[in-house]
Amino acid sequence: MILRVTGLVALLLLPAAATYLSGYPDVARDLALGSVLAFHLGVLARPLAPFGFLIAGVYAAAAVTANFTDGVAALIVATAAATGAASSLGYHRGLLAVLAAALIGSFEPAMAGVAALRGLAMFGGCVYGFLMVSTVARGLVTHPVAVHSKTALSYSVLLAVLVLVAWFTAHSAGLEQAWWLPLTVAALGEPWLKSTPGKAVTRLALALAGTLLALAVFDAITEPVLRAACAAVLLLALMTFGRGRADVQDFLLTPVLVLLVAGDTDYSSGVYLQGTLLAFAVVSTFTVLGKWVLWTLRPDMGHVASA
């Protein structure tokens, strides 16, 4: 099992690695992002796999409108709401890939031409990720957990509000490449409730804090090859130890993407951490309270979505 999954991870990152070794690190980054996000969408929401090209389109749209607050905020809200609404079919975890693309693009403003080139490279990765899902990864079968329509509607509204609050807070705090904050808010804390609201809130708070700690630890790794290797190890853990465990998969998603996006942001610096801790405290409070209200008012146990 581990050898097979190791081969899958290696194949998934192979085009990006080859492109990087050829001397095109920026293109390699976009290829890797497209491949991983399309693979994530295809495995966790298999019927939506053919629509993986939307990942590249949403990223480019967010990058172009990043300097226009109203436009990019509307895009993020619409994507977050659609992600939450998809929980009625159990596809919301897969659609986090599209939301991630929108959030990353919103922190990487670019002119239309530059955004189109980035999107084109990401599109190539998306096509490759789809081909992998359709061929060698067909054996990776998941059983999506869905919630009832009323719960999905409540979760859709809540997710849109929480993601928007986190996005605005990150921008207001002047944090660079802080797309991980609203993405973490969206990824952690499922709409269904398997225990008591109190236990669910505790796990959510620990997962939020763990994500911040993980970013500070991984930032000590500055060599691109080592960062890619760490991302590969996390992907391997996600597909093996995290297989069948939504909480593990959701927790690992943000660190994997942060390692792949790289960039020049120093997450462990005192200045960045000071601003991050304040933004993190505000966002975490809203997130914990919001999801506690959802779990209290809509205690949906969830059900395996029909194929």
Q: What is the pLDDT of residue 98?
A: 97
Q: What are residue 131's phi and psi, to 5 degrees?
A: -65, -35
Using alpha carbons, list the distances in angstroms from residue 131 to 36, 128, 241, 260, 263.
Answer: 12, 5, 24, 20, 28
Share of the chain above pLDDT 90, in %: 69
Rounded CA-CA distance 36/104 in Å is: 14
Whether the CA torsion 223, 224, 225, 226 is positive or negative: it is positive
pTM above 0.85, yes or no: yes
Q: What is the pLDDT of residue 127?
A: 97
Q: Which of 207-221, 223-237, 260-274 is least confident?
A: 260-274
Residues 188-213 have pLDDT tens digits of 999 998 888 999 999 999 999 998 88
Closest CA to 213 of 303, 280, 130: 280
* Domains in the chain: boundaries: 2-304
Residues 252-298 have pLDDT tens digits of 999 999 999 875 455 545 445 667 788 889 999 999 999 999 999 99
Mean of the per-residue pLDDT values for the chain? 90
Q: What is the pLDDT of residue 88?
A: 95
Rounded CA-CA distance 133/40 in Å is: 9
Q: What is the pLDDT of residue 262?
A: 73
**Residue at token pair 């993986």:** 52
Whether the CA torsion 219, 67, 102, 153 is positive or negative: it is positive
**Mean pLDDT, residues 48-61 taken together:** 96
Confidence of residue 241 (pLDDT cuts 50, 70, 90): confident
Residues 125-178 have pLDDT tens digits of 999 999 999 999 888 878 889 999 999 999 999 999 999 999 999 988 888 888
